[in-house]
Amino acid sequence: MVTTTPKKVTETKTAAKETLLTPRFYTTDFKEMSQLDISSNLEEVEAIVEEFRIDYNRDHFIRDKEFTASWDTFDEETRQIFIEFLERSCTAEFSGFLLYKEISRNLKKQNPLLAEGFSFMSRDEARHAGFLNKAMSDFNVSLDLGFLTKTRKYTFFAPKFIFYATYLSEKIGYWRYITIYRHLEKNPNYRVYPIFRFFESWCQDENRHGDFFAAIMKSQTSLLNTFESKLWSKFFLLSVFVTMYLNDLQRSDFYSTIGLDSKQFDLHVIRKTNQSAGTLFPVILDCEHPQFIPLLDKCAEANQQLIDLEKESQSFFSKLPAYVLMATSLLKLYFLPTIETKYIWTEKV
Ligand SMILES: [Fe+2]
Ligand SMILES: [Fe+2]
């Protein structure tokens, strides 16, 4: 007798509506990047590429028995919360994969060492994205990554901006994953889905990626030792922190499902990432400034107003006060005093 198990219908998603806060896809000036002279910090770059080559996580991303449990027990709201978390994470990882792969392909001839480093990083990001997409199938959905590649709009960033932005996104990724991992290690009753068990080794990939960008940046001293570099450091720190804060406050239900307070979680990740950046950037933010959190909250308030008005399809004019509140809060944040880090490689030789 042949028995057939009823097949679950897997819905293929083509990614959520794009907004300013959704994970973005980037492209850059490959020619300019291929001409980078990294000779002043060659040893460090080589050492990190060697670490990539060892491939510590080759056998890490293997799904085990725990994933075969049925997640139909999740109520519909929790299911949606998880799908959204997995989808956003998968999109962000996949965006890294595409960018690193393209850079690697374009640098192969002129800059083989950097090309190799980028190729190893794209390998890691492909694993991360694939693992997340497989996890989505536990909830009977999957992301159409081919469709995403073709239809997403790509944002152009000059190489130096790619370095500031990706260094920070890798480091913030590290702090996010490790914070969730450590929290669930202490509170296993909140570990409602097995993917979190993989975060400890996973985040080491992100940490190494961040170190790779740091090593490249150290070879380009003008990115770290000029007045302009201080302005850009501040700008990117703030952009990355505000984007995460606004995103996560919108998703506090996800964090409470795993026993975290989204605001406290974000503030911890912001402080830690800011500290990490202090070992590279010439300036970092003063997160303990009494105005820092209130101004972040003002941005979140303006964001909430904009979301509500958007739902009501209100005109630009009625949104204006919220835009003004957002812009003034961001400007105030930007002009708060910073902390000088004064690391030696930021000095001119
Ligand atoms: Fe990743
Ligand atoms: Fe990464």
What is the token pair recorded at 260?
Answer: 């975290």
pLDDT at position 145: 87
Calculate how far, in angstroms, residue 245's C-alpha sits from the geometric centre of ligand 2: 20
Calculate how far, in angstroms, residue 313's C-alpha sits from the geometric centre of ligand 1: 36
Ligand nearest to the CA of 92: 1
Calculate how far, in angstroms, residue 325's C-alpha sits from the geometric centre of ligand 1: 34
> For residue range 257-286, what is the model confidence (pLDDT) as tens digits?
999 999 999 999 999 999 999 999 999 999
Calculate how far, in angstroms, residue 175's C-alpha sits from the geometric centre of ligand 2: 12
Calculate how far, in angstroms, residue 46's C-alpha sits from the geometric centre of ligand 2: 18
Determine how β-strand 154-156 pairs with β-strand 338-340. unpaired
Calculate how far, in angstroms, residue 5's C-alpha sits from the geometric centre of ligand 2: 38
Calculate how far, in angstroms, residue 122's C-alpha sits from the geometric centre of ligand 2: 8
The tens place of each residue's pLDDT in the chain, 349 residues long, gives 334 333 445 677 665 555 555 678 999 999 999 999 999 999 999 999 999 999 999 999 999 888 888 777 788 998 999 999 999 999 999 999 999 999 999 999 999 999 999 999 999 999 999 999 999 998 889 888 888 888 888 899 999 999 999 999 999 999 999 999 999 999 999 998 999 999 999 999 999 999 999 999 999 999 998 999 999 999 999 999 999 999 999 999 999 999 999 999 999 999 999 999 999 999 999 999 999 999 999 999 999 999 999 888 888 899 999 999 999 999 999 999 999 997 655 454 3
What is the token pair recorded at 175?
Answer: 């702090």
Calculate how far, in angstroms, residue 119's C-alpha sits from the geometric centre of ligand 2: 12
What is the distance, to the nearest Å, from the Cα of residue 326 to the centroid of all Cα atoms in its chain?
Answer: 22
Interior angle at CA 251, CA 20 and CA 183, nearest 5: 125
Beta bridge partners of 284: 339
DSSP 185-237: HH-GGG--SGGGGGHHHHHHHHHHHHHHHHHHHHHSGGGTSSHHHHHHHHHHH
Residue 342's nearest CA partner among 284, 267, 270 is 284
pLDDT at position 71: 79
Calculate how far, in angstroms, residue 59's C-alpha sits from the geometric centre of ligand 2: 17
> For residue range 149-179, what is the model confidence (pLDDT) as tens digits?
888 888 999 999 999 999 999 999 999 999 9
pLDDT at position 160: 95
For residue 53, give the amino acid letter. R
Calculate how far, in angstroms, residue 209's C-alpha sits from the geometric centre of ligand 2: 5
Ligand nearest to the CA of 126: 1
Ligand nearest to the CA of 202: 1
List, in order, residues 6 or more apart from 191 with CB less than 8 Å away.
Answer: 184, 197, 258
pLDDT at position 29: 96
Give the CA distances from residue 298 to residues 65, 240, 295, 317, in Å, rounded to whole numbers and listed in that order.
45, 16, 5, 20
What is the distance, to the nearest Å, from the Cα of residue 177 to the centroid of all Cα atoms in its chain?
Answer: 10
3-state SS of 126-162 is HHHHHHHHHHHHCCCEEECHHHHHHHCCEEECCHHHH
Percent of the chain with pLDDT over 70: 92
List, in order, residues 6 or more apart from 117 with CB less than 8 Å away.
Answer: 45, 48, 49, 52, 212
Could you give the CA distance from residue 174 to residue 283 in angstroms, rounded to a whole number? 21
Identify whether the C-beta of residue 260 lies closer than 8 Å to the C-beta of residue 180.
Answer: yes
Could you give the CA distance from residue 113 to residue 46 in angstroms, rounded to a whole number? 8
pLDDT at position 304: 96
